[in-house]
Amino acid sequence: MHCYQKTFTLAPYKRGFHIITTLVEREIPEMKNISAGLAHIFIHHTSAGLTINENADPSVRTDFESHLNLLVPENADHYQHNEEGPDDMPAHIKSSMMGSAVTIPITKGKFNMGVWQGIYLTEHRNHASGRKITITVIGS
């Protein structure tokens, strides 16, 4: 059984949904040593998230952003946590909705995802800094 772990920081992304699959794969080349296992990808932030979804049509990412903004609008009167700007509390809610981690099977040294699937960074702040990610790969 092998276990590899790597923490790295993504460059800053603008608000929205961004496919980061290739970036994640590049950060953990040891994955090629795993014939069968799991990759756990975790984001160390409370205003951005991770999810897996459509990797081909960019309109899916635009629709995600538009829909979440309808569900969780900025400047809602009921928000108490608002000292860091109008996008702060909505970003916390959205990141909880999306989640802070994804787990992906590894087969023959590669992510075993569907042909139309990719890992998304879900960035919910207007002016975010780089996001810290930890990848843990376990398998044989």
Per-residue confidence of the chain (140 residues) as pLDDT tens digits? Answer: 999 999 999 999 999 999 999 999 999 999 999 999 999 999 999 999 999 999 999 999 999 999 999 999 999 999 999 889 999 999 999 999 999 999 999 999 999 999 999 999 999 999 999 999 999 999 99
Q: What is the pTM of this model?
A: 0.96
Distance CA 34, CA 101 (A): 20
| For the chain, domain boundaries | 2-139
- Secondary structure (3-state) at 39: strand
Q: Which fold has domain 2-139?
A: Jelly Rolls (2.60.120)
Sheet holding 48-54, edge to edge: 16-19, 117-123, 48-54
Residue among 37, 62, 80 nearest 122 (CA) = 62
With tokens 């538009």, the residue in question is 66
